[in-house]
Structure 1
Amino acid sequence: MGGMNLCDTPPAPLADQDFAPILDWIAAEVRPWVGRGKVADYIPRLAEVPADRFGMAVATLDGRLLQVGDAEEAFSIQSISKVFTLTMALEALGNELWNRVGREPSGSPYNSLVQLEREHGIPRNPLINAGAHVVADVILSSDDDARGRLLSFVRARSDDMAVEMDPEVARSERVAGYRNTALANFIRSFGNLDNPVEAVLDFYYHQCAIRMNCVDLARSFLYLANRGRCQHSGEVVISPERAKRINAIMLTCGTYDAAGEFAFRVGLPAKSGVGGGIVAVVPNVLAVAVWSPGLDDKGNSLAGAQALDLFTTRTGLSVF
């Protein structure tokens, strides 16, 4: 690809790094990737999203916010929401959560039924669909207004009271939700859901229907870069130990069954969604969000993964 190759120069110390030209360079470098891949057309509402979008935002713990492209255009965050609900479920149930959901990579598609039967209704991890259903069940059991509590949580983390759930996306999820219905009923058959399947699925579809932009997402993940403390409010969202655990699960399980390849290329804890978003965390430093709707065959944004690969290569900000 043409243009100045910033990867040929050694990274500067964080305090000296100017992320603005780096983001501009990345946006130019990934342009050939934008529009490639396939939007998540099995969810009717997402099939309508233009594939030619690209946005990226960086929020740092020292207060900087940088962005490029369509970083302020809202989109459906889909499975990125699983990080928020995992945080809430850990606060509600503590380490007992791990009796109901595992912590291992699945090695299978995110909506696979196969492992559930072999493992007696215990999902492999909380970031695949089956695991997110168990997490949703925990939240429903802990709060009479679970949906409202989730929305309040996300608004507080992003510092944006305009964040909403898109009812059209939630409806679209429900129409196309045959596999999720099967997963939830299968888990219930093993006694690992306490609430009615319909209630669990309704909450799950609405969490996936949260609309945010890259700026919102980068800000909202800063608590995981900051040992569990919200960067803008100072609130302790979760303990440092649990923040560490969530980051670990994102690294090993956050990009579906491509987590190993993503760790190899990008080297950061991250969570993706089939809406085309990916959010990554550099512990003690920053959070970075990228969005481009075209997906690879694993359900991850093609241009987004390429952008994050370039970002960590250029800046040297990787956990490896």
Structure 2
Amino acid sequence: MHMADALITPAVGGVMLAVSAGTIGYSVKKVKEDLDEKKVPLMGVMGAFVFAGQMINFTIPATGSSGHIGGGILLAALLGPYAAFLVLSAVLLIQALFFADGGLLALGCNIINMGFFACFVAYPLLYKPIVKKSFTPKRITLGAISAVIVGLQLGAFSVVLETLISGVTELPFLSFLMLMQPIHLAIGLVEGIATAAVLCFIYQANPVLLDGEADMERSGTMTGKKVLAVLIAVTVFIGGVLSSFASAYPDGLEWSMEGVAGTAELERGGSAYHAAADIQGRTAFLPDYGFKNSDESSALAGTAASGILGGAITLGAAGLAGYFITRSKKKVKCQN
């Protein structure tokens, strides 16, 4: 559900970027107060996991469409909503800058659509009340599926509103809405099941990680460190191998656009659009998750390289962000 720049006006993009920046700033403040430094490695690993997971488009049967995970509920269940929002923002920024996935003008929209509603609406209002502190596989599954579906529905509706406010006449409000909501309901169901599966594995392996604790030594059937090692191995496998077998069908947003406008790629002229495209052209060293000017013979290698490099960059960025935030918290405490 990564929006391209052509779906919004620069004004809408600027407002949403300001809103997302403000939310990021507030999240940093909250993370400074609450984040246990022992959870920093988990931030990095889960960021890489979500990056790799978003590369796997799964087919929605009988639709000719596909979807991918958003990851907001998964991150929030393990990191809390504020750290989760920061990690997902890092994922989306890295995707836009280095892989040209989602527009730079639309970055603020993508952060709000995919991060805000999952982390700050669906997670506290659905997942937490359903799961509470009495973790069971049944509660985790029900909470994850419900929260993912609602978060994705709100995000999809937000996309439609943003195009409406931007005056994108190629996508009439009602027609666009009637395609966006049902297809993202189906995508949300699949993502919810996948999210529940990961959380249930972690619950069985090391339930303290779902309790909000970060002790990497305490264990269920595995220590926290072993859980991280398994997640890293799975991330490498997803990004380096499974990503090459992702569905070729358009994702839910592209499918909806084709159903309404007959195309998934709208064109917009103007200096702001050209400037954003120029920046992406310079920074994206693996555009569309492949080598520049590559042919079919090197396409799989480009996808695998994107999955592994993107995951590594995200792991480093999310981990470093968590490290510097916790370090700044220590300095403040020492000064006081």
Task: Answer 1 or 2: which has greater strand percent.
Answer: 1
Task: Answer 1 or 2: which has greater helix percent.
Answer: 2
Give the TM-score normalised by the residue count of structure 2.
0.26
Rg comparison, structure with higher value? 2
